[in-house]
Amino acid sequence: MKFFVDTADIEAIADLAATGMVDGVTTNPSLVAKTGRDFKEVVGEICQVVDGPVSAEVTATDAATMLKEADVLAKIADNVAIKVPLTWDGLKACRVISKDWGREVNVTLCFSPMQALLAAKAGASYISPFVGRLDDIGEDGMGLIEEIRAVYDNYPALDTEILVASARHVSHVRDSALIGADVITLPPNVLRQLAGHPLTDKGLAAFLDDWAKTGQSIL
C-alpha cells in the first residue's frame, strides 16, 4: 500500500520523504490556506520535494472552469495530479483531463460505492473515499472501502486506485491494508504513529540499559 501525506507543510513533507515512506502528497484549498502562502507556489515546492503524484485541487464548480484551472495547475510540474470533486461537472472534467490530456486525476469527496464506480468509468486515476467523515456521522467508513474494493475487483478493466482519505488514526491504516486499498493519505502525525509501539520503546530502553552497564562503545 502506498502512503501519501495529507498536508501542505513543506518541512513536514521533506522530513517524512527522507524516510522513503512518502509515495505522494494530497493537498486541498483548506490545507494550503493554513500556510498563508500562494497556492501555486506551495504546490510547486511540494513537487520538488516529492517525486510521486501531488494532488492539487480545482476550486471551480463547473466543468469548463475546472478545465481552465486544471490547465494552470498542470503547468506547475509534471507530477501534479488534478483533484476534482465527485460531481457531474467534476466527472466531465475528469474524463477530459485523463482521457484527452493523459494527466492523473484524483476524484475526491466520495461517499458511496456507486460514486466510486462513476469515477472509475470517467477515467479517474484515484478515488478518494472519506472514511473519517463517514465515521463522524455514525456510518461505517471502512465498510465503504470494502464495498469499493469488491466493486472494482469485479471489473478488472477498471484501473482506478482506491485512495483512502480522511484517515484519522492507525486503525484506519491497518484496516485499509487488510482490505487491500491501494493508497492511504495521512496527516504527518498519523504517519509517524505507525512506527510506534510501547513494547518497542520498552525493549529499546532495556537494551540501552544493558549496554550502558558494559561500559563499551561501538565507536
Beta strand spans in the chain (E) = 2-6, 24-26, 54-57, 80-85, 105-110, 126-129, 161-164, 183-186
Q: Does the CA dihedral 111-116-118-124 come out positive or negative? A: positive
How many Å apart are CA 175 and CA 165, to the nearest integer? 13
Catalytic one of 2, 40, 75, 83: 83
Cβ(50)–Cβ(16) below 8 Å: no
* Amino acid making up residue 104: E
Is 202 marked active-site?
Answer: no
Cβ(50)–Cβ(22) below 8 Å = yes
Q: What DSSP character marks residue 130?
A: B
Which residues are catalytic, by number?
Answer: 83
